[in-house]
Structure 1
């Protein structure tokens, strides 16, 4: 019969080899500091754009881990509406997912309580009765071969978890995120939704580590990329001893890869920031500024004077004047091919 980690005599007194992890945790802190430093140089509008991109990615990839699909464009629009940056009503099917993540990342300093956790679960399953599970865990997407503790011990287990979570003291915040993730998934206090809530708990703890509501990286996206390894290390750890060094090492490495992946995810946004820094003194009208932003966002259109007129709802003469002005300012250049359909691009 399998012996799970929660059946060990000293559960939940986790141990790990701090010496072997110290260099790795220092590397993660270094890369976190570099990322936050770069992002702090962006203006608030671009910081919010980065946050919208990362929160969208987090929701989409967390759902994908569970075998579910949500539309990224719809999620981004709903997030912008919820954060007050776009008018409209958040789609009903996305309200819960968005409310869950925003509560964790925007209210990261608030203590984690039983009622707050029930609220998280209710946001995912609004028609369920609030409370810890009273039945075995069931999930159509369960991949890890693991049997959670009996339901009658869950209230006591969660009381211990929440007390620890709110008093982690001097524990490295990235280590705390890793421990919390494993501990919660070992208890599995709800009948379903435990994976999504575990990843949300990690997101909250990482927001505490960053000490900002802006989000610039997504752990869930990285976990989705490494899903097979994620399930494998969870299964091995939950069936092993209370020495969780291997789990912490894997989690920190995964987090470090998430931080580094931001360079890919936000490369266009960083290029946009550099462009506007370079052209701070440019004299631009609203049409020009709007079109330049669309070009920087990667609009898929051959930029001709007729395309400019169509996209800005202006006359052909106005379009030509706008373009010629940008040519004189050294912001646009003509593409090599000339003729009647002259096209233009941003000067690199």
Structure 2
């Protein structure tokens, strides 16, 4: 492997080589796919482990295993494997990009419906903590619990967040629209 190769190509080769040595009696596939993400982080292709190409590899499981097996033996077919891996990465990147665009649209639509600065701050906060409480919002945003409660309730009234109506204490607020976009 050329050290100057693109990190995506290196990840394809590293993954195939790890799967070829099959060092453990169980869990090689899972660990091999986790190593892809860790290599992407180490290579600074991603800053957080959110890019799981394994989802796309598993989607074409038969082809995935066939092409992995094709890099073994006397006449390994590395180009077919690398092309498959890069195509899977491209599909995963497209999927993530679509989700991020939808989350951005959701955030902007919600901000337009917010009437106070507190509501705006809390609404944006729910994108980092979609299952939240008054205490968490108050602590993280450094605002009074009463301000957090008021903003969360206003967002729930507007239908931006969900909170069950029976709970009176330690109420949870959920940004189900965001969770729907991300899953």
TM tier, smaller: 0.5 to 0.7
Question: Match for residue 244 of structure 1?
Answer: 78
Give the unaligned 5+ runs of structure 2.
120-146, 170-183
**Separation in 1 of the partners of 2:167 and 2:105?**
23
Residues 274 and 214 (structure 1 numbering): CA distance in 2 closer, same or farther, change over 3 Å? Answer: farther
2:76 corresponds to 1:214 = no
Question: Match for residue 290 of structure 1?
Answer: 152
Question: Match for residue 44 of structure 1?
Answer: none
**Separation in 2 of the partners of 1:201 and 1:220?**
10
Q: How does 1:145-294 map to 2 (within 5 A)?
A: 169-239=3-73, 241-266=75-100, 269-275=103-109, 278=112, 282-283=116-117, 284=119, 285-287=147-149, 289-291=151-153, 292=155
Deviation for aligned residue 1:169: 3.3
Deviation for aligned residue 1:276: 5.4
Question: Match for residue 40 of structure 1?
Answer: none
Question: Match for residue 37 of structure 1?
Answer: none
Judge conservation of contact 1:223–1:230 (CA < 8 Å) in 2.
Answer: yes
Judge conservation of contact 2:70–2:77 (CA < 8 Å) in 1.
Answer: no
Judge conservation of contact 2:40–2:46 (CA < 8 Å) in 1.
Answer: no
**Separation in 2 of the partners of 1:224 and 1:265?**
20
Judge conservation of contact 1:184–1:198 (CA < 8 Å) in 2.
Answer: yes
Deviation string 1:122-175 (CA, Å, 9 cap, x unpaired) is xxxxxxxxxxxxxxxxxxxxxxxxxxxxxxxxxxxxxxxxxxxxxx73221000
Deviation for aligned residue 1:312: 7.2
**Separation in 2 of the partners of 1:214 and 1:295?**
30
Q: Which has the higher contact order (CA 8 A, sep 6+)?
A: 1
**Separation in 1 of the partners of 2:52 and 2:160?**
23
**Separation in 1 of the partners of 2:148 and 2:167?**
10
Q: How does 1:1-348 map to 2 (within 5 A)?
A: 169-239=3-73, 241-266=75-100, 269-275=103-109, 278=112, 282-283=116-117, 284=119, 285-287=147-149, 289-291=151-153, 292=155, 295-296=159-160, 299=162, 310=165, 313=168
Deviation string 1:188-211 (CA, Å, 9 cap, x unpaired) is 122221111111111111123445
Residues 197 and 280 (structure 1 numbering): CA distance in 2 closer, same or farther, change over 3 Å? Answer: same
Deviation string 1:246-285 (CA, Å, 9 cap, x unpaired) is 1000000001001111145456533343245546773444
Judge conservation of contact 1:174–1:205 (CA < 8 Å) in 2.
Answer: no
**Separation in 2 of the partners of 1:267 and 1:229?**
30
